[in-house]
Amino acid sequence: MGLRAYLLVKVKDSIEQGEFTQAIKEVEREPGVEFVDPVIGSFDMMVMVNACTKLK
């Protein structure tokens, strides 16, 4: 069984479009990351991560 978490991420206000696209790609490469979606509003990205757990 694993744990799933949804993270809302805010990036710096002065980020350029190309930098934002690169940031999404870098986050997507992190272990456990299932997806990264840009969002509109108070946050800039939604990230879903999975982590394995060992329960006895």
The residue ranges of every structural domain in the chain are 2-52
Q: Cα–Cα distance between 22 and 8 in angstroms, integer?
A: 17
Backbone region of residue 44 per phi and psi (left: phi > 0; alpha: psi in -120 to 50; beta: other values): alpha
| Confidence (pLDDT) at 27 | 96
Q: Cα–Cα distance between 22 and 16 in angstroms, integer?
A: 10
| Confidence (pLDDT) at 56 | 65
- The pLDDT tens digits for 9-54 are 999 888 888 999 999 999 999 999 999 999 999 999 999 999 887 7
Per the model's pLDDT, the better-predicted residue between 56 and 10 turns out to be 10
| Confidence (pLDDT) at 15 | 87
Strands 33-38 and 2-9, bridge-based pairing: unpaired
Q: Specify the pTM.
A: 0.81
